[in-house]
């Protein structure tokens, strides 16, 4: 399974690290991303399946969490979502 490494700006890291309340699928995704973020380097390694999940959630109608995810990942995933 291939993996992709993403490097985030301080602003993108802050968007990822906002606490996720609730038990929904999107909140679970945010918690997964938070756990995989290396705060020392600002990097995150995601599998193809995880990238697919992120892209799928970003394609949903914009809301608070979706907007937050877009703010954090749009720069890295523009080839998938633009």
Q: Specify the residue for token string 């995810």.
A: 69
Q: What is the pLDDT of residues 6-49, one digit of tens each?
A: 999 998 899 889 888 888 888 888 899 999 999 999 999 999 89
Which of residues 1 and 52 earns the better pLDDT score? 52
Please state the domain count of the chain: 1
Identify the pLDDT of residue 47.
Answer: 92
Give the pair of three-digit tokens for residue 46.
């995601």
Please list, in sequence order, all residues whose beta carbon lies within 8 angstroms of the beta carbon of residue 26, skipping any fewer than 6 positions away: 20, 57, 65, 66, 69
Which of residues 3 and 80 earns the better pLDDT score? 3
* Residue-range definition of the domain harbouring residue 29: 3-81
Mean pLDDT of 63-75: 70
Sequence-ordered strand ranges (E) for the chain: 3-7, 37-38, 43-47
**4-13 burial by CB neighbour count: b if 16+ within 10 A, else e?**
eebebeeebb
């Amino acid at each position: 399974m291939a993996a992709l490494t993403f490097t985030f700006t301080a602003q993108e890291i802050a968007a990822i690290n906002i606490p996720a309340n609730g038990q929904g699928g999107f909140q679970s995704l945010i918690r997964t991303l938070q756990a995989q973020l290396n705060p020392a380097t600002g990097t995150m390694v995601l599998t193809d399946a995880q990238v697919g999940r992120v892209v799928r959630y970003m394609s949903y109608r914009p809301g608070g969490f979706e907007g937050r995810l877009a703010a954090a990942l749009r720069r890295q995933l523009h080839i998938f979502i633009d």
